Amino acid sequence: MPKYLWEAKYTVAGSQGLIKDGGSSRISVVEKLVSNLGGSVESIYYAFGDADLYAIVDLPDHATAAAISLSVAAAGGVTVKTTVLLSPEDIDDAAHKTIEYRPPGD
């Protein structure tokens, strides 16, 4: 199952909701969202810095990841950057593929 890294930034309204509802309740919402779509949550952490929350999730496919991203963005409480994560085995497979490529100028 594909693995994704979410980097979330709360909007003003999202931060106000987080203060009202608490961090644990928001984690429960994310876990329920992901599990209802056939995925699982590996880890979720709140953070200081560029992002307010980091999550690593497993989802059935890229379309499911895109559907979550669209729904979350449309709700307006948080912006999310999604990164597809690759396993060492994925990189092994990529390294063994034969690619024909000519760089510019050659």
CATH number at residue 86: 3.30.70.920
Residue 58 has a CB neighbour count (10 Å cut-off) of 15
Report the C-alpha gap between 106 and 102 in whole angstroms. Answer: 7
Residue 104 lies in a domain: no
* Per-residue model confidence as pLDDT tens digits over 40-63: 999 999 999 999 999 999 999 999
Of 40, 38, 27, 85, the residue nearest 63 (C-alpha): 38
Residue 103 belongs to a domain: no
Residue 106 resides in a domain? no
Q: What is the mean pLDDT of the chain?
A: 95
What are 18-45's pLDDT values in tens digits? 999 999 999 999 999 999 999 999 999 9
Q: Classify residue 53: in a domain, yes or no.
A: yes
Structural domain of residue 20, as residue ranges? Answer: 3-95
**Domain membership flag for residue 16:** yes
In a domain, 12, yes or no: yes
Which pair of tokens denotes residue 32? 């329920």
